[in-house]
Copies of this chain bind each other. A is one copy, B any other.
Amino acid sequence: MTDTPLKKVNLQEKFSQISDHWNPRVVGEWSGQQVKLAKFKGQFDWHFHENEDEVFLVVRGVMRMGLRDPDEREVLVEEGEFLIVPKGVHHCPAAHTEETWVMMLEPATTLNTGNLQNERTRNTLEHL
């Protein structure tokens, strides 16, 4: 049940509020999962998630995903395409185009840098 009227979310409108990179914002929650939006630029860090699978859906641009599944390789994921990275799989997200807009679907417990703690780690995420 819900106490307040439900609101739809417009992806373009939310992305227009994001001006930095590799900093996921939460724009929706359901059944223990979250919808997160982030802009990618350049390359992220290789990492994996011990317990969480992640869905990467490309909204604008092209994402280049480094994978060790098990051989190291790269997959280009274009607008309107998604890739699911299961727990335990080492991966390295990158923007293949200048900037890539990505919608991520994953358990609320998912840390952006997975097994790493570094300057890009976001322990708490802003909600838009």
Contacts and interface: CB of A to CB of B under 8 A. Distances in A.
Interface of A: 1-2, 5-12, 28-31, 33, 35, 52-55, 59, 67, 69-71, 73, 75, 77-78, 80-89, 105-107
Given A12-B80, A31-B53, A31-B106, 9 more contacts: A1-B70, A2-B70, A2-B88, A2-B89, A6-B84, A9-B84, A10-B80, A30-B53, A31-B33
A67 B5 CA distance: 9
Nearest to A1: B88
A28 B1 contact: no
Contacts of A1: 70, 86-89
Nearest to A86: B2
Given A80-B11, A81-B11, A105-B105, A30 B54 contact: yes
A84 B11 contact: no
A8 B82 CA distance: 6
15 contacts: A2-B89, A5-B71, A5-B73, A6-B85, A6-B89, A9-B81, A10-B78, A12-B80, A28-B55, A30-B86, A31-B33, A31-B52, A31-B53, A31-B87, A105-B105
